[in-house]
């Protein structure tokens, strides 16, 4: 059964909403800035959403992660469409699936810096629903009034790609009539210094697939999309989720399988589920983190599986690697190619790694696309590939 994309919205350092993101992509305007995170002196670049700093009225739900989720929900027509679906089906027939890798660990960090004299949490930080891996879905349900099933997925950097897969299963099984999917992750010391301890951060703006790439930049983002079964409602976008693939390498905690076996499986599964050939895919938004190993392995797989007619790019140089929010952020960019015909280039790509051979360039291209794909590969070998098509 086909799955319609009814609406989507993105919030990141590249733009607080979809309109701003489109402008940044078109103008090759990056949102990355030198690290300005309080308490950190790491020499790197980050994708910080400045507007989040002013959101401090969430009361018992206060955290930077929840604030970024709220900011994202207020953009575009997401809330209006969710309200219309609640009115049509009832709040219990709308589901929520969120992806995150940190939930509200930012708030927990702050809480430990403000312990009382006895070493306990002060009143302001006694927030059991915030210091909670399920916090993103709990907060979004609270904010939107959705009362159907909710789930928070944490599979590192594939978290908010997998939300589409779970939503599709729920819809096909009749568990719900509509699903709000999303992803949110925010910058905090645990994240930035954790990745620095793995020697993965770059002191330069990231350069995915470039010969001279030397590491990643981290960012924060929230993104949302609304899914329904095809035919249940007037399709607002003309875009459908037509294929997906999931796999787990189970090879290493942080390093991908050297031959990319799981990543290859997720891509081939997506093609098979959509009943498409590799040559049918017009554009792939690559995971493309700008690390030496990840780019090399993903690039080799794409070269093996796809012809030169398939254009590829990584868009992480616009907003950084947004971790648990990367999947939905890049899915939105990918879906938007179907509407705008603007295929983003790989910003900062000056010299393609000579070990990689596929169609990728720094500059944007314009092409009327029918089928697009996005890859999200996380720590532990958690892989997810999504395939979107114009309504057939």
pLDDT tens for each residue of 186-229? 999 999 999 999 999 999 999 999 999 999 999 999 999 999 99
Percent of the residues in the chain that have a pLDDT greater than 90, as a whole number: 91
Q: 260 pLDDT band (50/70/90 cuts)?
A: low
**pLDDT the model gives residue 232:** 72
Strand order of the β-sheet with 45-47 is 33-34, 45-47, 218-219
Which of 233-237, 246-250, 305-309, 361-365 is least confident?
233-237
Kindly give, in sequence order, each residue whose CB lies less than 8 Å from that of residue 115, ignoring residues fewer than 6 positions away. Answer: 121, 122
CA–CA dist 117, 380 (Å, integer): 39
Distances (CA, A) of 204 to 1, 290, 341: 45, 11, 30
Predicted TM-score (pTM) of the model is 0.96
Which of 125-139, 155-169, 373-387 is least confident?
373-387
Q: How many CB atoms lie within 10 A of CB 90?
A: 12
**pLDDT the model gives residue 384:** 96
Q: 233 pLDDT band (50/70/90 cuts)?
A: low
**pLDDT the model gives residue 323:** 96
Q: Does 259 have pLDDT greater than 80?
A: no
Q: Does 25 have pLDDT greater than 80?
A: yes
pLDDT tens for each residue of 304-332? 999 999 999 999 999 999 999 999 999 99
Q: 250 pLDDT band (50/70/90 cuts)?
A: confident
To which CATH superfamily is domain 3-390 assigned? Thiolase/Chalcone synthase (3.40.47.10)
Q: Does 291 have pLDDT greater than 80?
A: yes
CA–CA dist 218, 186 (Å, integer): 9
Q: 17 pLDDT band (50/70/90 cuts)?
A: very high
Taking residues 262-290, report their average pLDDT.
95
| Structural contact between residues 347 and 362, judged by C-beta atoms closer than 8 angstroms | yes
Which of 76-90, 159-173, 367-381 is least confident?
367-381
**pLDDT the model gives residue 373:** 98
| Structural contact between residues 171 and 228, judged by C-beta atoms closer than 8 angstroms | yes
- In this structure, what are the phi and psi dihedrals at residue 8, rounded to the nearest 5 degrees? -155, 155
**pLDDT the model gives residue 235:** 58
Q: Residue ranges per domain, the chain?
A: 3-390
């Amino acid at each position: 059964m086909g799955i319609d994309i009814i609406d989507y919205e993105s919030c990141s350092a590249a733009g607080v909403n979809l309109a701003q993101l489109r402008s940044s992509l078109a103008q090759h305007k990056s949102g990355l800035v030198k690290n300005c995170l309080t308490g950190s002196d790491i020499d790197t670049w980050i994708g910080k959403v400045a507007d989040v700093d002013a959101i401090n009225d969430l009361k018992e739900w206060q955290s930077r992660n929840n604030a970024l989720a709220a900011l994202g929900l207020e953009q575009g027509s997401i809330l209006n469409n969710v309200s219309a679906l609640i009115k049509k089906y009832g709040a219990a027939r709308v589901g929520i699936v969120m992806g995150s890798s940190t939930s509200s660990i930012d708030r927990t960090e702050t809480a430990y810096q403000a312990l009382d004299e006895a070493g306990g949490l002060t009143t302001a930080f006694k927030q059991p629903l915030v210091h909670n891996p399920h916090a993103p879905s709990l907060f979004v349900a609270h904010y939107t009034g959705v009362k159907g099933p909710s789930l928070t997925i944490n599979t590192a950097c594939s978290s908010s790609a997998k939300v589409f897969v779970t939503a599709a299963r729920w819809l096909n099984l009749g568990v719900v009539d509509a699903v709000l999917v999303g992803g949110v992750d925010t910058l905090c010391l645990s994240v930035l210094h954790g990745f620095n301890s793995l020697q993965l951060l770059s002191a330069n703006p990231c350069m995915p697939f470039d010969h001279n790439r030397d590491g990643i930049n981290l960012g924060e983002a929230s993104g949302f999309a609304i899914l329904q079964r095809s035919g249940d409602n007037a399709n607002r976008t003309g875009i459908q989720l037509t294929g997906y693939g999931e796999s787990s390498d189970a090879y290493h905690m942080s390093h991908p399988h050297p031959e990319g076996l799981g990543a290859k499986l997720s891509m081939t599964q997506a093609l098979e589920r959509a009943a498409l050939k590799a040559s049918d895919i017009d554009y792939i938004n690559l995971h493309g983190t700008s690390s030496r190993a990840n780019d090399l392995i993903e690039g080799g797989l794409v070269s093996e599986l796809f012809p030169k007619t398939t254009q590829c790019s990584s868009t992480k140089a616009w907003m950084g690697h947004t971790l648990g929010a990367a999947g939905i952020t890049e899915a939105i960019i990918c879906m938007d190619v179907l509407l705008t015909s603007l295929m983003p280039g790989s910003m900062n790509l000056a010299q393609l790694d000579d070990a990689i051979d596929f169609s990728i360039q720094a500059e944007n291209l314009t092409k009327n696309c029918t089928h697009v794909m996005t890859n999200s590969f996380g720590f532990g070998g958690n892989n997810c590939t999504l395939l979107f098509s114009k309504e057939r």
